[in-house]
Amino acid sequence: HDDRPGGGLMKLGVSNLAWDRSVEDAAFSLLREYGASGVEVAPTKIAPWEALTPDVLEAYRQKCQSYGLEISSMQAILFNCPDAQLLGDEAGFASLCRQMETVGKVALGLKAGVAVFGAPNNRSKGTLGDADARALALSRMRLLGDIARDHDYVIGIESVPEYYKCDFLNRIADVAAFVRECGHSHVATHFDIACVTLGGDAPAPALEVMDRFVHYHIAEPDLAGFESPKCDHDGVASVLSDRGYAAWAVIEMRQAGPDGLEGLKTALEYATRTYAVTDPVRL
C-alpha cells in the first residue's frame, strides 16, 4: 500500500461524488475513455448505510468491473454518523468503532483497499488540550487500525485544515508524524493537494519530504472543478513522477450542474494532461 521508487505510471481514479447516479453508465464510460481505471466510493452514494448489503455491494463492484474499473478506495466513511467520535467519550468512540466495522464490511464487499479518514466533525478535540488529544487519538487509532486490518483495508488519515472547521491534525507534517508514532500497519498518511494547500503548506515541497503515504487526491479547494485550478498540480505531479509513485491518484470533486458529466470530462482532461497516469484508452 505504499509508493515505491521506480514504479510505473500512477493509476487514475475518480470519486463517485462527481456525478449523479442517474448518469452512472455515462460517467463510467467517460472514465474508461480517458484511461481512468478506478472509482473511489462514497458508500452512501450507492445506498444508505443500512442498505449496503453484500448483494448490493457485489452488484456495484461487478458493474464497475464490466466497464474495466475497480474500486480504488472509499471516502465519506463517516457521513451521517455524528455520534461516531475519535476524541469523544467512551460512547462516542464505541460508535466510531461500530462504524469502522461497517466500513470494513463495505471494504470487503467492494474489494477496496484504502479508506480516507477526513471527517473534521468526527475528530474534534472538544475540551481536550493538544497533548491529551494526541495521546488519546494515538491509542484509539491503533484500535481502529486493528479493525481495518481485520477487514483488509488501510485507514488513510487526511490533513484537514482549519478552513474546513477542523481542529485536529490540520497540517500534513502533523499527520505524517502522528502516523509514524501510531506505528500501525493499517494506519497511513493520505495526501490531498487541496487540504495541504489550504493548511498553509506548499504541497510539492511537503510531498518531497514525505517518507510514506498510501493514497493521493487530485483536488481543489471546496471540492471545486478543474476549469481554472488553483493548486500546484504541476509541481506535485513532478514530485510524484520523480518518486515513481504507482498507486492511486483520485480526482475528488463535487458534482457540478444537473448531472456532473461536463465537469467530470474537464477534470479528466486536466488530470491526464498534468499527471503521469495510465495512457488514455480513447474507446
Q: What is the pLDDT of residues 33-69, one digit of tens each?
A: 999 999 999 999 999 999 999 999 999 999 999 999 9
- Give 9's DSSP letter: P
Give the cell for residue 191.
495526501
The predicted pLDDT at position 91 comes to 98
Are the C-beta atoms of residues 218 and 250 closer than 8 Å to each other?
yes
Give the pLDDT band of residue 3 (cuts 50, 70, 90). Answer: very low
* pLDDT for residue 283 is more than 90: no
Q: Note the pTM of the prediction, 2 decimals.
A: 0.94
Burial class (CB in 10 A: 0-12, 13-18, 19+), 94: middle
Helix (H, G, I), strand (E, B) or coil at 2: coil
pLDDT digits (tens, 9 = 90+) for 265-275: 999 999 999 99
**Number of helices followed by number of strands (H, E) in the chain:** 9, 8
* pLDDT for residue 1 is more than 80: no
* pLDDT for residue 280 is more than 60: no
Q: Report, as an integer, the average pLDDT of 116-127.
A: 96
Q: Show Cβ contacts of residue 193 under 8 Å, excluding neighbours closer than 6 positions.
A: 203, 216, 217, 218, 219, 231, 232, 233, 236
Q: What is the C-alpha to C-alpha distance for residues 198 and 122, in angstroms, rounded to an integer?
A: 20
The predicted pLDDT at position 189 comes to 97
Strands (E) across the chain are located at 11-15, 38-41, 70-74, 114-117, 154-158, 187-192, 215-219, 248-252
- Give 277's DSSP letter: B
Q: What is the C-alpha to C-alpha distance for residues 73 and 13, in angstroms, rounded to an integer?
A: 9
